[in-house]
Amino acid sequence: MPGPLVAVLDYGIGNLRSAEKALRHVGADARLTADPALVARADGVVLPGVGNFGACMRALDEHGLVAPVHAAVGSGRPFLAICVGLQLLYERSEESPGVAGLGVLPGEVRWLPEDVRRPQMQWNRLRIVRPDPALEGIGEAPWMYFVHSLAVVPAPAGEADVVATCDYGGDVVAAVRRDNVLATQFHPEKSAEDGLRILAHWVASCGGGR
């Protein structure tokens, strides 16, 4: 029996196959799609993202996926955002002034400090600041792979969403959780066994398959 149906949103940005392949590896029936009907019936939805905040928001809109994202989040089904996908959930980004984000979470995206190399393109240790089911079994300071030049800064109303940070010129938000929404700045699909373990936990939360 196939695992839970997971819609990996395909909006023409970057290489999304690695996320799809990793999700399949841990048991999901993962499918790259821009079909709102498939997104609506999926057991879980994944919003990957690489590149420029504004370009990603425009591509989401051009592919007709903004409303399906909001519907998926509002449905209570497991929703996972990765890298720029995490950033898109917030209200705005310094990278693309005047471009509104999805506004699912309160806060904005800011450039990493000028005194560190941008992008952060390296393995870095997580500091888990509150327990989360997806982070179980990965230890207290697991290594994850990051590629980003900006990071989210939650508004006061969103500070409690932070579940993990890393140290890169100061505390950088590495993962957030609000209800059914889990989002990571790092790439779990590129983070070896611990990253796959996070994806496996998330896929398990999507249900028993069909």
Report the DSSP beta bridge partners of residue 175.
Answer: 164, 184
Query: What is the distance, to the nearest Å, from the Cα of residue 10 to the centroid of all Cα atoms in its chain?
Result: 14
Which residue is catalytic, options 148, 187, 201, 206? 187
Which residue is catalytic, options 20, 189, 201, 206? 189
| C-beta of residue 1 within 8 angstroms of C-beta of residue 179 | no
Q: Is 159 a catalytic residue?
A: no
Q: Is 189 a catalytic residue?
A: yes
- Please enumerate in sequence order all residues whose Cβ is within 8 A of that of 119, keeping only pairs 6 or more positions apart, or say none: 112, 147, 148, 149
Q: Could you tell me the CA-to-CA distances from 148 to 4, 61, 84, 117 in Å, in that order?
A: 30, 22, 8, 10
SS3 content of the chain, % helix, strand, coil (to 5): 30, 30, 40
Structure tokens at 52: 């420029």
Which residue is catalytic, options 83, 148, 166, 201? 83
Question: In 54-149, which ranges are E strands?
Answer: 79-82, 92-93, 107-111, 120-125, 127-128, 143-148
Catalytic (active-site) positions: 83, 187, 189
